[in-house]
């Protein structure tokens, strides 16, 4: 076997992680034929099949899985070595692209704008995608430096770190005619509900973060954002389940009563998510540490 070209291995690993020649070409700023040619050259050099057609996409062979696991650490070390040549400093002007869920955005945006840490380096916040596959694809294709979201991440190429946690709260209108300072399970199921579907899952917030199996509820409306849900709840006799951080922050604005739910709920953990290639990247490491410092200095 001839000595493999490291550029070919880099192309291979990108295709392996994205499971798409088209997406890999975009990520690497190459043409699709260029990516296909690189894979053919690598296949010829190592003498094994790397990908097979599966429906409209491609699937890695067992040899490809083994190769990816073996070369990923080495390529990450090479990437780290190159990043040290062009060493990052916070005094250099730079824009980081951070995908953030609604709670994280509400919590962090003003802090970032006011922090002296971000005088030169700035963050452009964008909403997290609806699906996990798209979120991980954006991190893989370097369209985002970091993501902040809840829920588990499925992918060996990614790292996570808890950023902050909170709890679930029930909200209703302050002058609700049937709900006082407490709510029972019977009352909960008797009321109409305004729901929020958790991104990257097909569950409502109440179902996703509870330790119990909840029964069917009467759904009056399903919202895209926590803000719109709180506004609808405040102007109706419906109830909703949401982040305690935002519920308490906007209770007065939306005329809301914030209560403990009538069931046991899990802690809501918001976590940093990044691609492993950036595990030791000076710039990405600085960004993660800076966000953690902002959270540490807040009342979360």
Q: Do domains 94-155+279-296 and 168-259 have the same CATH topology?
A: yes
Q: What is the pLDDT of residue 42?
A: 92
Q: Which residues contact 286 (CB under 8 A, 6 or more apart)?
A: 88, 90, 121
Buried/exposed 227-241: b ≥16 CB within 10 Å, e otherwise: bebbbbbbebebbbb
Read off the pTM.
0.77
Is residue 128 classed exposed, middle or buried when 0-12, 13-18 and 19+ CB atoms within 10 A define those classes?
Answer: buried
Q: What is the pLDDT of residue 299?
A: 60
pLDDT bracket for residue 86 (50, 70, 90): low
195-217: per-residue pLDDT in tens? Answer: 987 766 666 777 778 877 788 89
Assigned superfamily of 168-259: Periplasmic binding protein-like II (3.40.190.10)
218-274: per-residue pLDDT in tens? Answer: 999 999 899 999 999 999 999 999 999 999 999 999 999 999 999 988 899 999 999
113-130: per-residue pLDDT in tens? Answer: 999 999 999 999 999 998
Two tokens, residue 187:
């009352």
* Domain limits, the chain: 6-85, 94-155+279-296, 168-259
CATH topology of domain 6-85: Arc Repressor Mutant, subunit A (1.10.10)
């Amino acid at each position: 076997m001839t000595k493999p070209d490291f550029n070919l291995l880099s192309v291979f690993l990108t295709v392996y992680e994205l499971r798409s020649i088209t997406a890999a070409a975009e990520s690497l700023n190459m043409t699709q034929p260029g990516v296909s040619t690189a894979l053919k050259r690598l296949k010829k050099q190592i003498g094994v099949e790397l990908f097979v057609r599966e429906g409209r996409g491609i699937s890695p062979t067992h040899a490809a899985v083994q190769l990816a696991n073996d070369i990923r650490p080495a390529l990450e070390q090479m990437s780290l070595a190159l990043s040290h040549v062009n060493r990052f400093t916070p005094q250099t002007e730079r824009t980081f692209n951070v995908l953030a869920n609604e709670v994280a955005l509400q919590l962090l945006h003003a802090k970032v704008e006011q922090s002296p840490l971000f005088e030169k380096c700035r963050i452009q916040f964008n909403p997290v995608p609806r699906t996990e596959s798209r979120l991980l694809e954006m991190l893989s294709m370097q369209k985002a430096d970091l993501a902040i979201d809840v829920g588990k991440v499925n992918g060996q190429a990614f790292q996570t770190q808890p950023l902050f946690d909170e709890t679930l709260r029930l909200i209703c209108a302050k002058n609700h005619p049937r709900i006082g300072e407490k709510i029972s399970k019977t009352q909960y199921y008797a009321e109409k509900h305004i729901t929020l579907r958790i991104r990257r899952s097909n569950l409502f917030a109440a179902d996703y973060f509870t330790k119990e199996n909840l029964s069917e509820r009467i759904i009056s409306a399903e919202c895209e954002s926590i803000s719109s849900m709180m506004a609808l709840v405040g102007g109706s006799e419906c109830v909703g389940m949401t982040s305690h951080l935002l519920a308490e922050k906007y209770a007065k604005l939306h005329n809301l009563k914030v209560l403990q739910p009538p069931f046991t709920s899990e802690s809501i953990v918001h976590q940093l998510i990044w691609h492993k290639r950036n595990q030791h990247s000076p710039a990405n490491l600085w960004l993660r540490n800076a966000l953690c410092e902002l959270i540490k200095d807040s009342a979360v």
